[in-house]
């Protein structure tokens, strides 16, 4: 098949990277890595290209990093497309963005399926147009039995509204007697979040030099190692990703203990 030849999982990874991959795989890799993908607009602007060229380039990086994460045995990769221009975006860009998932899945879903990748989404799906949601639901359906990397897209996701929604549902459950106020603890609370079936992220990567969490997984990242890079998302490659994993493996993780 065309994509098999073009995207054969080994051939698309440079030699130098393969050696670093083996070294990383010889130690404990983080189970759950989250990435705030930032910098598409700036990347395009610095090349006098339209912003959507940055998003298009960013999509290719989504594929590259997903395949690498799957190859080194990461369980869950959560991708959050952050952009401060969310509300300032021109309509043409929003329309393009809502078509991007369909384009991404048309091109890469066969390869993701071939790599045993499972696609899921978290966030308020209601605000995603139905044509976009349709292709996403199909991708979720077609990959639901895969047990390789869980590729989790955060779409229209905001951590504070997720927490408020959890509180409202807990109050509802107390009122109708499903749970008792004194039973509430961190584990019970976590079950009311959109990430209830996911482990907390072990490592959070953010590109483009911004050093902020931007309302992303605030509860879940209580003990998450944070790794920031000035690199803009479209320029982010396997080397940068392995830099973050290698640094994570060097840091001794303390979970608040000594």
Chain residues in the site for ligand 6TC (CB under 6 A): 37, 40, 55, 58-59, 62, 79, 81, 83, 97-98, 100-101, 104-105, 119, 121, 128, 132, 136, 139, 153, 155-156, 233
C-alpha to C-alpha distances, 203 to 36, 68, 71, nearest whole angstrom: 11, 16, 17
Q: Tell which residue, 232, 206, 255, has the closest CA to residue 43.
A: 232
What is the spatial distance between Cα 98 and Cα 90, in angstroms, rounded to a whole number? 13
CB closer to ligand 6TC, 20 vs 41: 41
**For the residues of 161-190, what is the DSSP string, one character each?**
HHHHHHHHHHHHHHHTTSS-GGG--HHHHH
CB 72 within 8 A of CB 241: no
Residue 9 or 89: the one with the smaller Cβ distance to ligand 6TC is 89
Round to whole Å and give the CA distance between 47 and 73: 35
CB closer to ligand 6TC, 41 vs 192: 41
* CB closer to ligand 6TC, 111 vs 192: 111
Q: What is the DSSP letter of 145?
A: T
* Minimum distance from residue 120 beta carbon to ligand 6TC (Å): 8
> Has 38 been annotated as catalytic?
yes
Do 34 and 199 touch, CB atoms closer than 8 A?
no
Catalytic residue among 8, 31, 86, 145: 86
Q: Is 8 one of the catalytic residues?
A: no
Which amino acids are annotated catalytic?
38, 86
Q: Which residues are annotated as a binding site for substrate?
A: 39-43, 51, 55, 83-85, 87, 89, 206, 212-214
Q: Which residues are annotated as a binding site for Mg(2+)?
A: 38, 225
Q: Which residues are annotated as a binding site?
A: 38-43, 51, 55, 83-85, 87, 89, 206, 212-214, 225
């Amino acid at each position: 098949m065309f994509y098999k030849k073009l995207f054969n999982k080994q051939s698309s990874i440079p030699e130098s990277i393969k050696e670093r991959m083996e070294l990383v795989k010889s130690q404990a890799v983080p189970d759950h890595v989250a990435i705030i993908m930032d910098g598409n607009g700036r990347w395009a602007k610095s090349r006098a290209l339209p912003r959507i060229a940055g998003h298009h380039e960013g999509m290719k990086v989504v594929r590259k990093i997903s395949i690498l994460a799957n190859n080194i045995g990461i369980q869950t990769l959560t991708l959050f497309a952050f952009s401060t221009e969310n509300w300032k975006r021109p309509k043409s860009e929003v329309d393009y963005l809502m078509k991007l998932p369909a384009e991404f899945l048309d091109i890469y879903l066969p390869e993701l399926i071939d790599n045993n990748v499972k696609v899921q989404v978290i966030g308020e799906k209601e605000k995603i147009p139905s044509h976009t949601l349709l292709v996403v639901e199909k991708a979720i359906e077609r990959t639901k039995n895969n047990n390789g990397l869980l590729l989790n897209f955060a779409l229209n996701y905001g951590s504070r509204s997720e927490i408020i929604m959890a509180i409202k549902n807990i109050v509802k459950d107390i009122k109708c007697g499903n749970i008792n106020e004194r039973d509430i603890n961190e584990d019970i609370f976590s079950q009311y979040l959109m990430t209830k079936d996911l482990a907390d992220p072990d490592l959070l990567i953010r590109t483009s030099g911004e050093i902020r969490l931007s309302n992303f997984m605030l509860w879940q990242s209580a003990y998450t190692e944070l790794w920031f890079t000035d690199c803009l998302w479209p320029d982010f490659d396997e080397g940068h990703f392995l830099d973050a994993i290698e640094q994570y493996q060097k840091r001794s993780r303390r979970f608040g203990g000594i």
